[in-house]
Structure 1
Amino acid sequence: MHSPPGDTFARGPWHELPAAFGALLRPRIDAIASGMVEAIRQEVPAYRRPLDSSVGRDLVASVCRAMRQFAELTEAPESAQDHHARHFRHLGRVEFLNGRTTDGLQAAFRVGARVGGRRYAEIARTASLPAEIVLPLHEAVLTHINALSNEAVKGFVAAQAHAEDEVQRSRRALAQALLEQPHGAAREPLEPLAARARWPLPAQVACLVVRGAAGSRRTVPWPDALVLPRGADLVAVLPEPAGGGPAGTADVRAAARGRTAALGPAVAPHDAWVSLVCVRLALNHHRDTGAPDGEFLIVGDRLADVHLLGGAPIGRLLGDRALGVLDGLPAGRAARLAETLEALLMSWGRTAPEVARSLGIHPQTARKRLRHLDVLFDGRLADPGFRFEALLALRTRALRG
């Protein structure tokens, strides 16, 4: 943790320097600054820019300010230094915003300290100041440049943290926008929000939900996933998961090991909410059936079931209408006739031998059941519309247990 700049300077070696040194330095600041700037531009590639560029102007202004501060400290070591500290923190922010690192900045400080220390010593000799000030003068230069470097790094780190916070906020907002189900109104375009989130929209996305994993990013194997807690669950929007093939699915499965999780179908980004709906339906059904925890569901492999689960209340009504004649029979007989009806509806030729092979029963038994079904349904088995409804009803009943 850095000390406040005023404390650093008040404890520094300026008390051992004659106040007159500040008066000697001030008229020479422009000339010394010119030499420092030239040395920095030669030795530090990041600053090899024209002097009339923004980089060049910032460099000259900062070098001159650093020397004015050195003169102030020589004259009044206890003086407030916040105004200078703010400048160098701003310089660090500018470095970050311009895409540079602190390496070049700290190299520039070192070059400036070397040139400045040499010129300051020349000023002391020319003015016939006591030889004993050479060591405190050298210490003052090192203390000063270290303090300025620390302030610049503080500014750089603060700007970096702010930018990362902005990106994370934008990513959460993008995840919410992707997962929000539209309700008639036109959706806002996703591209501007994706640009602020630094998350190029992929061709496809898929939703992953991990039960009881909110607050744990370790369950998501891709750093570029959009992660959003929803209650106790963790929801992640994964970019183009289908592009990774089975290996990508294996990575997700391994990351979610030990928790119930489901990976939704790959969809276009504006349909991400559809992938989430599919996952929710599959997980809710998994919970309702009392299945053990820790299972990983690939929802894209069972979209027909998920579709039926989404309309389960309507499917129940359809079952009552299409299959109601079976409900008045003894349970065992009703179950046998229902499985025979499903075998008939799923067969190609709808013949007794085909149904018998499917169920593993004698063809004569199959014929007997089929005649019974034909009577119960009053000839409607020949109606394509009824057959479609009956198959949906049978499938929905099977899913709902």
Structure 2
Amino acid sequence: MVVVVAAPRGRDGFEPWRDIPAVAARVLRPRIDAIACELVETIRTEVGGYRAAPNTDVGRDVLAAVRRAVAQFVSLIENPVAPSSDDVEFFRRLGRTEYRNGRELDDLQAAYRVGARVACRRYAQIAQAAALPMTTVLSISDAVLAHIDNLANESAKGYAEAKSHGVDDPGRRRRALVERLVRRNPPEVGPSTAELAERAGWAVPDALACLVVDDPGGGRFRFDPDVLLLERAGELTAVIPGPRVAAACAAVGGARAAVGPVLPVAETWLSRYCARLALRTLPRSPEVIAADQHLLELFLRAGEPLGALLGRRGVDRLAELGAGKAARLAETLAALLASWGRSAPEIAAELGIHPQTARYRLRQLDEVFGDRMGDPDFRYEAETVLRLRALRRRG
């Protein structure tokens, strides 16, 4: 059954979107994505609880919500009585999510206020650039405020609904704690890690590690009670006190998983980052991947795009010599850089070639790179690029 909900009303039945001509929607619609991105950047800058990077779960949630709000506003201008039950549910769900994640409603309401301010300014600029009448510009500003007020009210209802059904939910308190632990830059406002841990009845350890499991399969693993869990989008993160790491890894035997290094509590995010990076970049393994045994490789793989740029300005000059010769000289360069100052016979022994061949290749390298061969920065860059390429060949 499709439920058709009339257009939202402002306070006292005020509906300023009815005064906006449809041409305004045609001007705004092509700019929905650009407007949403601008609003998100401002919200991330001004609202502490939403400073997460765009590629985090919180960052993606904020972008989805803002884009939904902008698109709904444009649709409201086009058709004030369009079906909107899905939108109502979406913004109520935002409020429920805030509660279940252990956050107060203050950050979400602040985000609405910031969004309204920026949207009013941006919409007015677009309308004026399109030579729309000033009365339309003013109506748009009134409509934005009424629209955001409605969305904020729906989210407040969702928050209140969730709160009424889970006032003393232990799972919510543990989730709020783990959400804060895995944030690189947790908000400065709100309860501290120690306060959240006390509410959750969790003893804060001296150090911990994050175990990340790909496709956990609905909670089929059995962990010790003091392991905190966060599951979303087919990924399970287990925050584990240091002494429990071995037992937790054994509990996920057979699953695709990686464990980050054991670190101080304030660096929980870093342990998780290492584990996730290991899962994403290292070859599959039947065992749990110990990220701290591959830190250099993870470092290189994480910077792979930058490594490609370094290669363009340095090592890629070898490509001008042709594929075969470039490969041989790159091999020789790698052997030389592995222990600077090696003699031609030593390089020849490592590569299994004649010393005279090694001398010839070294002269060619001098011809290609000249004085740069004596520059420590260049040698470091070149070795980094060559190591990265070797990793790529290994898969």
Which TM-score tier does this pair reach, normalised by the shorter chain? Answer: 0.5 to 0.7
Q: Which residue of 2 aligns with 1:315?
A: 307
Out of 349, 355, 364, which is 2:347 matched to? Answer: 355
Unaligned runs of 5+ in 1: 1-161
Out of 203, 209, 212, which is 2:212 matched to? Answer: 209
Distance (whole Å) between structure 2 residues aligned to residue 315 and residue 186 of structure 1: 38
Distance (whole Å) between structure 1 residues aligned to residue 170 and residue 201 of structure 2: 7
Q: Which residue of 2 aligns with 1:227?
A: 229
Distance (whole Å) between structure 1 residues aligned to residue 235 and residue 217 of structure 2: 5
Q: 1:179 deviation in Å? A: 0.8
Distance (whole Å) between structure 2 residues aligned to residue 360 and residue 204 of structure 1: 47
Distance (whole Å) between structure 2 residues aligned to residue 184 and residue 378 of structure 1: 51
Distance (whole Å) between structure 2 residues aligned to residue 178 and residue 399 of structure 1: 32
Q: Which residue of 2 aligns with 1:279?
A: 275
Q: 1:253 to 1:327 in 2, by over 3 A?
A: farther
Alignment of 1:175 onto 2:201: no
Q: Which residue of 2 aligns with 1:191?
A: 194
SS of the residue aligned with 1:400?
helix
Distance (whole Å) between structure 1 residues aligned to residue 334 and residue 189 of structure 2: 43
Rg (Cα) greater in structure: 1
Q: 1:277 deviation in Å? A: 1.3
Distance (whole Å) between structure 1 residues aligned to residue 264 and residue 193 of structure 2: 12
Q: Percent identity at matched positions?
A: 46
The one-character-per-residue Cα deviations of 1:180-205 (angstroms, maximum 9, x if unpaired) are 12189679521000111111211111
Alignment of 1:166 onto 2:158: no
Question: Which stretch of the first structure deviates more once superposed, 231-240 or 176-185?
Answer: 176-185
The one-character-per-residue Cα deviations of 1:72-123 (angstroms, maximum 9, x if unpaired) are xxxxxxxxxxxxxxxxxxxxxxxxxxxxxxxxxxxxxxxxxxxxxxxxxxxx
The one-character-per-residue Cα deviations of 1:27-49 (angstroms, maximum 9, x if unpaired) are xxxxxxxxxxxxxxxxxxxxxxx
- 1:87-166 superposed matches below 5 A: 166=169
Distance (whole Å) between structure 2 residues aligned to residue 226 and residue 396 of structure 1: 35
Q: Is the 8 A contact 2:180 2:186 kept in 1?
A: no
- 1:238-257 superposed matches below 5 A: 238-240=240-242, 243=243, 248-249=245-246, 251-257=247-253
Distance (whole Å) between structure 2 residues aligned to residue 199 and residue 329 of structure 1: 62
Unaligned runs of 5+ in 2: 1-165
Q: Is the 8 A contact 2:211 2:249 kept in 1?
A: no
Alignment of 1:262 onto 2:258: yes
Alignment of 1:383 onto 2:385: no
Given residue 284 of structure 1, which amino acid in structure 2 is its aligned partner? R
Q: 1:221 to 1:354 in 2, by over 3 A?
A: farther
Given residue 256 of structure 2, which amino acid in structure 1 is its aligned partner? T
Q: 1:217 deviation in Å? A: 4.7
Q: Which residue of 2 aligns with 1:346?
A: 338
- Alignment RMSD: 2.6
Q: TM-score w.r.t. structure 1 length?
A: 0.52
Q: Which residue of 1 aligns with 2:326?
A: 334
Distance (whole Å) between structure 2 residues aligned to residue 353 and residue 274 of structure 1: 44
Out of 297, 303, 308, which is 1:305 matched to? Answer: 297
Q: 1:360 to 1:201 in 2, by over 3 A?
A: farther
Given residue 321 of structure 1, which amino acid in structure 2 is its aligned partner? R
Distance (whole Å) between structure 1 residues aligned to residue 224 and residue 350 of structure 2: 45
Q: Is the 8 A contact 1:261 1:297 kept in 2?
A: yes
Question: Which stretch of the first structure deviates more once superposed, 176-185 or 296-305?
Answer: 176-185
Q: How many residue pairs are counted as aligned between the two chains?
A: 229
The one-character-per-residue Cα deviations of 1:258-308 (angstroms, maximum 9, x if unpaired) are 22110111111111111111122221113xxxx446342110011112122
Q: 1:227 to 1:184 in 2, by over 3 A?
A: closer
Q: TM-score w.r.t. structure 2 length?
A: 0.53
Q: Is the 8 A contact 1:214 1:234 kept in 2?
A: no
The one-character-per-residue Cα deviations of 1:305-362 (angstroms, maximum 9, x if unpaired) are 2122222211111111121212223333322221221111111533223322332333
SS of the residue aligned with 2:357?
helix
